[in-house]
Amino acid sequence: MSTTAKLPGHPFIAYEGSALHVEGVSLASLAQEHGTPLFVYSKAAMLNALAAYQRGFAGRDAQICYAMKANSSLGVLQVFADAGCGFDIVSGGELMRVVAAGGTPSKIIFSGVGKTRTEMTLGLKAGIGCFNVESEAELDVLSSVALGMGLIAPVSIRVNPNVDPKTHPYISVGLKGSKFGVAHENALRIYQHAALLKGLHVIGIDCHIGSQITTPEPYLDAMDRVLDLVSRIEAAGIPIAHIDFGGGLGINYNDDTPPDADALWQQLLAKIDACGFTGKKLMVEPGRSLVGNAGVCVSEVLYVKPGEQKNFCIIDAAMNDLPRPAMYQAFHAIVPLALTANPAAVYDVVGPVCESGDWIGRDRSLNTVTGDHVAVLSAGAYCMSMASNYNTRGRAAEVLVDGAETHLIRLRETIEDQMRGERCI
Ligand SMILES: *Cc1c(COP(=O)(O)O)cnc(C)c1O
């Protein structure tokens, strides 16, 4: 009889006996078949994360829009499109990906501070559901682009709730002085401006206060601020049909304990109902919380390099594959694919890229030798979508696991792929 050992926070990733599995598939077998570095995603983990939001909104008029910048691979988008999700996009390229994956354009919302006229035109042509406008100047441009096409653009304005930074220092985008959204105190005036523009139809309000938020308080504070604005905007004669509350819910990277989406929304819905806004359509834009813990990056140990001050474990995944430690000093758990009883040593786990910033994990206890494989956990969000070709490293392959089935959803990038489009002088 084999035993199963689940990894905390990763319900679909577990050791069966000594071998790490994603759902019914052994990661060692995937590494052998497809090589490394290799991203592996659990479809059940994505749908399980989505289900928490769906439970939270049961019986409500609500639309969950997956913030696809977290992971924009077509196979991942397809999982969410098939589950009825809309998408939060931030570029014309992301719009084309949603269409290619079979998503519904009317369920797309378009966020971002720097939309170009070309991107606005693309969105209007496709018939997207809403433009989340981030500045007064953007309102004017969008209105003129829409009028030029004989269309009316549906809009919502992103407001900055300015949630107190002292109590919530990790909130980084919903504050005064952020490049995102419009200031809370200017919002009413800007809504009045929008309502006068002939090419716009004001339909909603939105905010997005930050990322990897692990306590309910910032959300509760932001909701109070947004609901207060909705009352004031409607009192000025501008109806608000939907409230879009953005994304940002955290995941468990390293003993983090974010609230479950359904529990959080129970608290938020109570506030909405108390203001008499029960009938309003609700939208959310979760990214990380839908995919982050659905993915791992499997990597081979190339060398173990003992040192006087540090031991290094050099793996074949690097900062170009897993940019979060270098960019944000972020933590990813690193576990072996095969459990053994050998004694462990403490390593800095690093990649082959020529940068001191190319580390994946510091001071990690591992028992490992050259040729072993490790899994870097919580690699479903903001890894492949941020991957680069630095050091002329091809981007990794990706596999989606569905029960005992596997789908290769991205081929490993070849050197020919990388050089396509370049010309010698
Ligand atoms: C990035 C982003 C999200 C998703 O954030 P997560 O932390 O991944 O949930 C949602 N909305 C907007 C506007 C964003 O920029």
Q: What is the CATH number of the domain that holds 118?
A: 3.20.20.10
Cα Rg of the chain (Å, integer): 23
If you search the block for the tokens 């319900």, which residue do you land on?
11
Tell whether 209 and 272 lie within a shared domain.
yes
Note down the domain range covering 194. 111-286
Domain boundary among 286, 305, 336: 286
For residue 77, which of 55, 53, 93 has the smallest C-alpha distance? 93
Tell whether 218 and 321 lie within a shared domain.
no
Task: Tell me the HSE value of 267 on the side-chain side, using a 13 A CA sphere.
Answer: 15
Q: How far is the CA of 211 from the centre of ligand 1 (A)?
A: 7
Tell whether 38 and 121 lie within a shared domain.
no
Tell whether 176 and 279 lie within a shared domain.
yes
The one-letter amino acid code at 148 reads G
pLDDT for res 167: 46
Integer Cα distance of 393 and 317 in angstroms? 10
Tell whether 273 and 361 lie within a shared domain.
no
Q: How far is the CA of 111 from the centre of ligand 1 (A)?
A: 9
Integer Cα distance of 156 and 242 in angstroms? 9
| Cβ-contact 51, 11 below 8 angstroms | no
What are the residues facing 41 on neighbouring strands?
A: 295, 400
Instruction: Evaluate whether residue 392 is within a structural domain.
Output: yes
Instruction: Evaluate whether residue 60 is within a structural domain.
Output: no
Low-confidence ranges of the chain (pLDDT < 50): 1, 165-167, 171
| Residue from 50, 53, 64, 69 whose mutation best tests the ligand 1 pocket (most atoms within 8 A of CB) | 69
Tell whether 156 and 303 lie within a shared domain.
no
Q: Does the annotation mark 354 as catalytic?
A: yes
Tell whether 336 and 397 lie within a shared domain.
yes
If you search the block for the tokens 């079979």, which residue do you land on?
102
How many structural domains comprise the chain?
2
Instruction: Evaluate whether residue 271 is within a structural domain.
Output: yes
Tell whether 278 and 298 lie within a shared domain.
no
Q: Ligand 1 atom closest to Cα of 288?
A: 8
Domain boundary among 286, 320, 336: 286
pLDDT for res 230: 98
Instruction: Evaluate whether residue 19 is within a structural domain.
Output: yes
The token pair that represents 405 in the structure block: 């089935």
What are the residues facing 378 on neighbouring strands?
A: none
Tell whether 303 and 397 lie within a shared domain.
yes
Catalytic entry in 207, 275, 354, 424: 354
Find all residues with CB under 8 Å of 195, minimum gap 6, and list them.
Answer: 202, 237, 238
The token pair that represents 204 in the structure block: 């909603």
Instruction: Evaluate whether residue 138 is within a structural domain.
Output: yes
Measured in whole angstroms, the distance separating CA 329 from the mean position of its chain's CA atoms is 17
Instruction: Evaluate whether residue 80 is within a structural domain.
Output: no
CB-ligand 1 contact for 174 (6 Å cutoff): no
Widest Cα–Cα separation across the chain: 71
Integer Cα distance of 15 and 363 in angstroms? 23
CB-ligand 1 contact for 288 (6 Å cutoff): yes
Integer Cα distance of 188 and 230 in angstroms? 9
Tell whether 136 and 250 lie within a shared domain.
yes
CB-ligand 1 contact for 287 (6 Å cutoff): yes
Which CATH number is 22's domain given?
2.40.37.10
What are the residues facing 42 on neighbouring strands?
A: 401
| Cβ-contact 366, 334 below 8 angstroms | yes
pLDDT for res 342: 82
pLDDT for res 166: 45
Instruction: Evaluate whether residue 84 is within a structural domain.
Output: no
| Cβ-contact 319, 358 below 8 angstroms | yes
The token pair that represents 311 in the structure block: 């031991």
| Cβ-contact 108, 123 below 8 angstroms | yes
Domain boundary among 251, 286, 321: 286
Tell whether 245 and 301 lie within a shared domain.
no
Tell whether 274 and 306 lie within a shared domain.
no
Instruction: Evaluate whether residue 78 is within a structural domain.
Output: no
The one-letter amino acid code at 370 reads T
